[in-house]
Structure 1
């Protein structure tokens, strides 16, 4: 089944937490999109959001940052893979009046990658000792992909 998929590219990503460096992160994503032509999947902590409903608590996220990240993903030909599980993947000050939750972690992929793995999904796992919830990429809903006796479900 998947043994005929061919080559594709996975990138584990960590975006700059400083807002002043977001445009630098977006330039890097654009360069990565140009540098390789393989079907591409990129997952983890982008330290960015696409819409206002990806944040709960605290001040509103600047519109320029929301637009910048969304425009960058479109320019790179990246589609959000969606997810199952908790909507917010990062939090701070839980249980206080300053509690903030955001969706900073996600999976993105090109349409070429998506056509290779149409059943792929990202699962957000609720148990974590970190301020970020772990993500797990499952390529096939029914059977994990095995290559050389390694389970290729990618968890971050």
Structure 2
């Protein structure tokens, strides 16, 4: 464990099999914009890792208007803050499979939970999947993340030589 913050847990993980260390940050963002700004600042401070970095969890903010159904969309400032943090940290959204909304109070549906990763993450794991699993006891969908390095086929030589 590198940092235990009130809005995230930042870990250094060694996946074994002589792979390089990776960093994972698990987020549980505050509900209020000013508190989340502190989180964005902290994530920006630790973003100079130059190593594979995965950041995921409940960010308590949407990124785009289409990630909200049934709620008030007059204020997009919190989304702008979130987007600015992603630009500053050079983190990319991993996308998802499944239900487009990860949280509901049965009147409003939002995608508050997501996974972000660094360019170095994609260099190490060129296949990352995020699935929104069915919601059971919580008002949030759990996220199931799989990451792998898939083999790329090397091109065949244009001519072959026979030795003999």
TM normalised by structure 2 equals 0.76
Deviations 1:89-126 (A, max 9, x none): 0001x2xxxx1010000000001101211111111101
2:89 aligns with: 76
Segments of structure 2 that go 5 or more residues without pairing to the other structure are: 1-15, 151-164
TM normalised by structure 1 equals 0.79
2:132 aligns with: 124
Show the 5 A alignment for 1:1-150. 3=17, 5-34=19-48, 36-60=49-73, 62-92=75-105, 94=106, 99-140=107-148
Segments of structure 1 that go 5 or more residues without pairing to the other structure are: 143-156
SS in 1 for 2:42: helix
The Cα shift of 1:33 comes to 1.0
RCO comparison, higher one (Cα < 8 Å, 6+): 1
Following superposition, which runs of at least 4 residues in structure 1 exceed 3 angstroms of deviation?
Answer: 2-5
The Cα shift of 1:28 comes to 1.5
- For the aligned residue pairs, the C-alpha RMSD in angstroms reads 1.9
Please identify which structure carries the higher helix content: 1
Greater Cα radius of gyration, structure 1 or 2: 2
SS in 1 for 2:39: helix
- Report the count of equivalent residues: 135
